[in-house]
Structure 1
């Protein structure tokens, strides 16, 4: 059975927290890849380790930071972690922010 990990409600997403999460180049790269790619995004730590040159605990930390900032939503199904960018939530809260920071396809 799939389980959704905790994330802030839309009205609790804070601009300072979002920008702080995006200040890290690795997190910005991860979110840009998810934002421009197909959803849902299967988050294999091994793929990110190879692509970004970071270790699995650091990948997990970055994923958690993005989720806790309100940028992503994560569902756990067995060993798989499926992530989605919270596009609609962020657009309603901060119109145009993701396009301005991450660019369009």
Structure 2
């Protein structure tokens, strides 16, 4: 499995992050990743969507700089880029995660 492209910290833009988090399904995925606190296989988070739609949402989050996704055997492990997001946009992720659903 090949390495997936991710933006460097200095390439992450607020508009892309907000766009990625504006979708309710992606926001749910980010909340679940924050609860788990560590990387998980893509299919671990239960969602009412198909595999291709899940892959699409994960790609949007990764390309926006919200998550890291790395290959691990036959799986892909996704984790939240909390350190990067907190350094670039202090309080943003905390506020979003604390907001009512």
Greater relative contact order (Cα < 8 A, sep 6+)? 1
CA contact (8 A) 1:67 1:73 kept: yes
1:39 Cα offset (Å): 0.4
Is the 8 Å Cα contact of residues 42 and 81 (structure 1) preserved in structure 2? yes
Query: Partner of 2:75 in structure 1?
Result: 80
2:65 counterpart (70, 73, 91): 70
**Equivalences for residues 38-77 of structure 1 within 5 A:** 38-44=37-43, 47-48=44-45, 51-77=46-72
Structure 1: gaps spanning 5 or more residues: none
- Displacement of 1:78: 2.3
The alignment partner of 1:73 has SS state of strand
C-alpha distance in 2 between matches for 1:56 and 1:24 = 17
> Structure 2-normalised TM-score?
0.89
Structure 2 unaligned blocks of 5 or more: none
Matches of 1:66 and 1:101 in 2, distance apart?
15
| Segment drifting more, 61-70 vs 95-104 | 95-104
The size of the alignment, in residue pairs, is 99
Q: Considering only aligned residues, what root-mean-square deviation do their CA atoms show, in Å?
A: 1.8
Report the Cα distance in structure 2 between the residues aligned to 1:71 and 1:7, rounded to whole angstroms.
9
